[in-house]
Structure 1
Amino acid sequence: MAIEEQEFQLDNSFLDPAVQDDPFESYATLREQCPVYRVPETGLYMVTRYEDVREALTNPETFSSRPGAGAGGANEASKAHAAVFAERGWVKARTLQRTDPPEHTHYRKILGRVFTNRNVEKMKPRINQLTHELIDQFIDRGHCEFVSEFALPLPGIFICEQLGLPAQEYETFKRWADAMLAMSQRPLTPEEAIVQAELEVEAQHHLAREFEKRRAEPSDDLISLIVHAHQDEEPFTMEELQDLMHQLVTGGFETTTAAISKSMLLLLKYPEQMEKLRADPSLTKNFIEESLRFDSPVAGLWRTTACPVELSGTQIPEGAPVMPRFASANRDSEIFDEPDTFNIERDNVNQHVAFGLGNHFCLGASLARAELLAAFEAILERMDDIHLVDEMEEEVHHFSFFLRPMKKLHLGFTKK
């Protein structure tokens, strides 16, 4: 029987930074007692069970990627944010993340040329080289701040190089990427929203100049590919280009940085798994997949219901914001035995949904896996006795409803 009014309420709030820092107990409670949970502060329907997450990700006719009135909200912050782009920048078109087939298919086909397995194979020598260059900068010191000195610059520098931008600009692009994601990370005041929008408009104008350079003089880089890609015989508009770059810039930094950082922390938390990995490096790929399952870098993505739907006994109205929660699905005991155990020898680890499912499966998944593999092969080869130098802060992550990026990770080690 469908539940018209949600009677169950969590004792805590998903807008509490402490809950977002470690949400897994709350996820377990929801999977057991209220698998489709309407977050009272936002009206968002959070989907927590694996099979329901699969349904929401693979049924775009019902769970649309096109944002509705409820997904972004029409609050004062979102209005203030949008006004900045209307006045001084470009209002982004809906391209990859915010469309359904057939529109989505056109954009994905073009960018899919970049992230084929064949192309990623060609990228691997540079990824490996960059990995060792970064380690070279701190290996003799015997300690490092792992997030800022390794986990961030590895994907950051690499995506800048692929885009055809100066590698040393990656820190600027990280600042812009943070602004691009700000509205999905946490509730903002109108004043905060304006600050973040102005930063993103700064990025838009910088990128617009790069687009015009590539129109005049194409080169062998990702920006040139996008600028000269045609859809229905027409080049992409500036609004389309800005949205595509928004997704490439944010995807190229945040998720892989989080995955590398979290994977390192898991090895420190579970030293017996580190010992297994050192004893048998052939487990590295499985370790990476288990890390992605155990602490997914992306907590979930937005959907909007295109029609009324019932999911696990909960009625969701048309036009409602829905978030299939990857991080919860990956701890579902119906799919994974002992899901709260970090086990790098897990047999069915490839069933995780850390990269999503369906039409919107992460385009850059093969690149992210290549970067993670290069990172940990080099770390295990060159660093021994890895340990925490400082005690972790009480809250390990920056507050985010979407990504949960780590703050810092101070490591000590012995050079091998």
Structure 2
Amino acid sequence: MADAAAPSLEQMSLLDPHTQSDPFPMYEAIQAAPGIYRMPETGFFIVTRYADLRAVLMDAETFSNDVDRASLQGPELSAAHSAYMTERGWPHIQTLQRTDAPVHSRYRKLVDRVFTVARVREMVPRIEARAHRLIDAFANRGECDFVAEFAMLLPGMILAEEMGLPPTEVATFKRWADAMLAPASTRMTAEELRRVADTELEAQHHLAGLFEARRREPTGDLISGLVHAHGDTDEPLSMAELQSVMSQLIGGGFESTMTALGHALLQLIRHPDEMALLRADPKRIRGVVEESIRMESPTQGLRRRATRDVELNGTLIPKDAVVIVRYGAANRDPDKFACPHRFDPTRANVGQHLAFGAGAHFCVGAVLARQEIQTGILAMLERLDDIRLARPLAEPVHRANFLTLPLRELPIRFTRKQPGA
């Protein structure tokens, strides 16, 4: 029997912070309704079913990645934001994730030369050492905020080091990352947009100096890799292209990994039997991470643009309409995943989630993200016992965000393991 108290689809909004914190009831309502849902507040078309997402993601000719990243702000504010950035720094030109073939192929080829499996393997000892140093800072205390003291710092420090920032400057790095993501994630006033633009411009000018320094003297870090990825056969990336690629790598490589780390530990706390199994057999970590990413997709959705009038699941989507592919909804589609709201690291199709996208635009940093999450969780279990919530999580659990699912905090208590135990 349906719950009479459950709100109807018309009573919910993806712009409501409480719905953004727990979007799954709305996803279910959208999936139960016919066709594709059109947001009355923005006109965006929200795609939530797994099969429909696959259809959109694999058809870039019809559903282009070339879309205004600040479209949530409306045409006037978006244009003003773009002009402000162009006047004082470098414009938001379309590269990598925001382009289609054949243009995308050039950017992807260059970035793939930097984000290789071999490079990530070489980074593993550094990731492990960083994880253990972070745990050293709070292990004796018996409690910490896992988001602020570990999940944010681990990927932030690794990326900050790769960008030529000392690891102690991770707060600066986070401030830059938040500003780069803000226009796509939160509706803002003109004044608020100006403030985040000024912060992003600060990041741009810092990066510009690094790019030029690495052109002259490469050091083997991420910046050097991007600057020299063209080798002897391709055109080097321009400064505007480098800025655009780097902003995407920062957004995807920092916020998403931080969010995924927090959710992975929270799932284990909520499922102590699974935590015990993982302690006994660390090889189970892959399934734990994949299932956590499926359940709480760090990036809940991204934008596409219809290049023509097209019908999708009985709904006519007009040319140039913004289409939002909601990975978080598709990853809990009951037509794809049995008992989709149940945490089951052993499910047969655990790796078939769409949290990292699909097709040509599959997340370039997925290998590094998975490694950081796996390493981080195993380090916590290796060093700490009896990990539990220090108190109930305050509502809303997640920070308001249209496209991602970031935890506000994760206060935990634990017992430090004794050496040799």
Sort the TM-score into its range (normalised by shorter chain). Answer: over 0.9
Partner of 1:90: 90
1:214 corresponding residue in structure 2: 214
SS of 2:413 mapped into structure 1 = strand
In the alignment, the residues of structure 1 paired with residue 69 and residue 203 of structure 2 have an alpha-carbon distance, to the nearest angstrom, of 27
> What is the CA-CA distance between 1:86 and the residue it aligns to?
2.4
Whether 1:21 aligns to 2:54 is no
CA shift at 1:312, angstroms? 0.8
Report deviation, 1:68: 5.8
Q: Which residue of 1 aligns with 2:271?
A: 270
Distance, in Å, in 2 between the alignment partners of 1:70 and 1:296 is: 22
- Matched with 1:358 is 359
Give the TM-score, by structure 2 length: 0.93
| Shift in CA distance, 106/113, structure 1 to aligned 2, threshold 3 Å | same
Per the alignment, residue 3 of structure 1 pairs with none
Q: 1:233/1:286 Cα in 2 relative to 1: closer, same or farther (>3 Å)?
A: closer
Q: How does 1:285-300 map to 2 (within 5 A)?
A: 285-300=286-301
Q: Per the alignment, in what secondary structure is the counterpart of residue 97 of structure 2?
A: coil
Instruction: For 1:220 and 1:367, locate their aligned partners in 2 and report how far apart those are by CA, in whole Å.
Output: 17
Letter in 2 for 1:342: F
Shift of residue 364, structure 1, vs aligned partner: 0.6
Asked whether the equivalents of residues 94 and 244 of structure 2 are also in contact (C-alpha less than 8 Å), the reply is yes
In the TM superposition, 1:319-398 aligns within 5 A as 319-398=320-399
Corresponding position of 1:46:
46
Amino acid at match of 1:63: F
Q: Report the alpha carbon displacement of residue 166 of structure 1 after superposing the two structures with TM.
A: 1.9
Aligned-pair CA distance for 1:290: 0.3
Amino acid at match of 2:18: A
Cα drift, residue 282 of structure 1? 2.5
Deviates more, 1:65-74 or 1:350-359: 65-74
Is the CA contact 1:96–1:244 (under 8 Å) kept in the aligned structure 2? yes
Distance in 2 of aligned mates of 1:219 and 1:325: 39
Alignment partner, residue 410 of structure 1:
411
Alignment of 1:17-166 (within 5 A): 17-67=17-67, 71=71, 74-166=74-166
CA–CA distance in 1 between the matches of 2:73 and 2:66?
13
Q: Which amino acid aligns with 2:333?
A: D
CA distance in 2: counterparts of 1:112 and 1:64, whole angstroms: 21
Determine the C-alpha separation between the residues in 2 that align with 1:70 and 1:64: 16
User: How big is the alpha-carbon RMSD for the aligned residues of Structure 1 and Structure 2?
Assistant: 1.7
Give the distance between the partners of 2:27 and 2:33, measured in 1 at CA. Answer: 10
Q: CA deviation at 1:361?
A: 0.3
Query: What amino acid maps onto 1:359 in structure 2?
Result: A
Q: Secondary structure at the match of 2:408?
A: coil
Aligned 1:192-271 pairs, distance under 5 A: 192-230=192-230, 233-271=234-272
1:71 and 1:303 in contact (8 A); partners too: no
Match of 2:348, as an amino acid? D
Distance (Å, rounded) in 2 between the aligned partners of 1:35 and 1:411: 42
SS in structure 1 at match of 2:130: helix
Letter in 1 for 2:75: N
One-letter code aligned to 2:274: Q
Cα shift readout 1:169-225 (whole Å, capped 9, x = no counterpart): 221011011000101111111111111111101111111111121122222111122
Q: Report the AA paired with residue 148 of structure 1.
A: A
What is the alpha-carbon distance in structure 2 between the residues aligned to residue 337 and residue 229 of structure 1?
A: 43
Q: What is the CA–CA distance in structure 2 between the aligned matches of 1:93 and 1:70, rounded to whole Å?
A: 12
**C-alpha displacement of 1:117:** 1.6
1:199/1:70 CA distance change after superposition, 3 Å: closer
CA shift in 2, pair 1:269/1:142, >3 Å: same
What letter is aligned with 1:151?
A: A
| 1:350-405 Cα shifts (integer Å, max 9, x gaps) | 11111000111000101111111111111111111111112211101110011121
TM-score, with length taken from structure 1: 0.94
Does the aligned pair in 1 maintain the 2:184–2:403 contact within 8 Å?
Answer: yes
Cα deviation for residue 133 of structure 1 reads 1.1
- Where does residue 400 of structure 2 map in the other structure? 399
What is the SS of the residue equivalent to 1:138? helix
Q: Once structures 1 and 2 are overlaid, which stretch shifts more, 78-87 or 23-32?
A: 78-87
- Describe the superposition over 1:108-133 as per-residue Cα deviations: whole angstroms up to 9, x where unpaired: 11110122222211111111111111
Q: Secondary structure at the match of 1:97?
A: helix
The amino acid that maps onto 2:289 is I
C-alpha distance in structure 2 between counterparts of 1:411 and 1:225, whole Å: 38
Query: Which moves more between the two structures, 113-122 or 17-26?
Result: 113-122
What is the SS of the residue equivalent to 1:414?
strand
The 8 Å contact of residues 278 and 380 in structure 1, kept in 2 or not, is answered as yes
In the alignment, structure 1 residue 308 sits paired with structure 2 residue 309: yes
Q: 1:68 to 1:154 in 2, by over 3 A?
A: closer
Call closer, same or farther: CA 1:73–1:21 in 2, change over 3 Å: closer
Aligned-residue offset at 1:75: 3.2
**SS state at 1:214 partner:** helix
One-letter identity of the residue aligned with 1:211: F
- Indicate if the aligned counterparts of 1:68 and 1:320 stay in contact, CA closer than 8 A: no
User: Are 1:290 and 1:343, in contact at CA under 8 Å, matched by a contact in 2?
Assistant: yes
Shift of 1:233: 4.3
Specify the code of the residue in structure 2 equivalent to 1:160: A
- 229-238 vs 186-195, which deviates more? 229-238
1:70 touches 1:321 (CA, 8 Å); kept in 2?
no
- CA distance 1:395–1:314, change in 2 (3 Å): same
- SS of 2:56's partner is helix
Q: Hey, what does 1:4 align to over in structure 2?
A: none
**Secondary structure in structure 2 of the residue aligned to 1:407:** coil
Give the secondary-structure state (helix, strand or coil) at the position aligned to 1:355.
coil
- In structure 1, the gaps of 5 or more residues are 1-7
**Aligned letter for 1:112?**
D
Q: Please tell me the residue identity of whatever aligns with 1:228.
A: H
| Greater CA drift, 128-137 or 82-91 | 82-91
For the residue of structure 2 that corresponds to 1:261, the secondary structure is helix
Superposed displacement of residue 12, structure 1: 1.1
Aligned residue pairs, count: 409
